[in-house]
Amino acid sequence: MPAVDPEVYRAVLESLATGVYLVDRQRRIFLWNDGAETITGRLRQDVLGRACQDDLLMHCDANRTVLCHSGCPLVETMRDGKAREADVFLRHKDGQRVPVHLQVTPIRDARGSIIGAAESFQERILLPDIYVHPNERAVHDCVDPLTGISDRPSLLSHVSAGIADFVENHDPFGVLGVVIDNLDQIRLSHGNQAARAVVRVVAQTLYRNLRQADVVGCWSQDAFAALVRDCPADGLARVAEMLKRVVNTASVPWWGDHVSFTVSIGGAAGQAGDTAESLLSRVEAALAITLREGCDHVVVF
């Protein structure tokens, strides 16, 4: 077999759609490939030479524990030489949380000494994918330019399609309403542009952490709704709690600082005889209860 120039291997690694980055013993990044750029929004020139724990990906687990300073898979692999994998959430450059599955392997020199570590990662779907029903496929979806998710008319069409599928096939579903807590205070303290950035980050975090057949759309200027398909009533509350935890780990980079926030979620399962209006009115009632209880709550009927 003819010898292959090492630069060929590097070029292949650089072009992979899977995110890959390599660090030295001090966790300084010396390779950052195309997939890493796409998944994280961070270009090579933004990260090369920086330490990965330097306010970059800020990996956290489902309990919102940040792993960069405690329990970092890269550090543990460089310590004991064992490969690892984990399901975590990384922070996109824009602030939204992205669920990924990562794998870490040690990098060794010719003598077998560990000189660094390699991490590969891919976006993952938190919930099993589902079949897209005929009524859902018939919806003509339009995207809201600020948030990148479905606009309000499209959202209402999706809810009506979900009700039609429920009537025809008895497919369980529900709707979750999501309100950003204290957004007016963010506007006062950081300005309208920061508030708009928070709205987009929350929308994108919701979108990235649901299934392809689920729908996240704009409900009002500062609120969203998610149509969760093939989900019985008892599962809807679990989905809502999961989304709340993930969104609450997101933040918006703003003039050298990070704007943090929480959300409150109210939801309702679809019922026989529902219309879009009756279902959304129950969601609004659930949201009203969360707002009376204060910030960072979930109520699902």
Longest dimension (CA), the chain: 71
List the domains of the chain with CATH numbers: 6-123 (3.30.450.20), 134-300 (3.30.70.270)
DSSP helix/strand/coil, 187: helix
Tokens of 176: 């979750």
Q: What is the pLDDT of residue 54?
A: 86
Q: Which residues does residue 269 pair with via DSSP β-bridges, in sequence order?
A: 174
Q: Which helix (H) or strand (E) holds 88?
A: strand 84-91
Q: What is the pLDDT of residue 18?
A: 97
| pLDDT tens-digit map of 62-92 | 777 888 877 899 999 999 999 999 999 999 9
* Residue whose C-alpha is closest to residue 285's, from 274, 300, 272: 300
To which residue do tokens 């750029």 refer?
37
CA 92 to chain CA mean position, Å: 9
Q: What is the pLDDT of residue 136?
A: 63
Contact predicate 222/183, CB 8 Å: yes
| Digitized pLDDT (tens) for each residue of the chain, 301 residues in all | 566 688 888 999 999 999 999 999 999 999 999 999 999 999 999 999 999 888 789 899 877 788 887 789 999 999 999 999 999 999 999 999 999 999 999 999 999 999 999 999 999 876 555 555 666 666 878 999 999 999 999 999 999 999 998 999 888 999 999 999 999 999 999 999 999 999 999 999 999 999 888 999 999 988 999 999 999 888 999 999 999 999 999 999 999 899 999 999 999 999 999 999 999 999 999 999 999 988 999 999 9
Give pTM, 2 decimals: 0.81
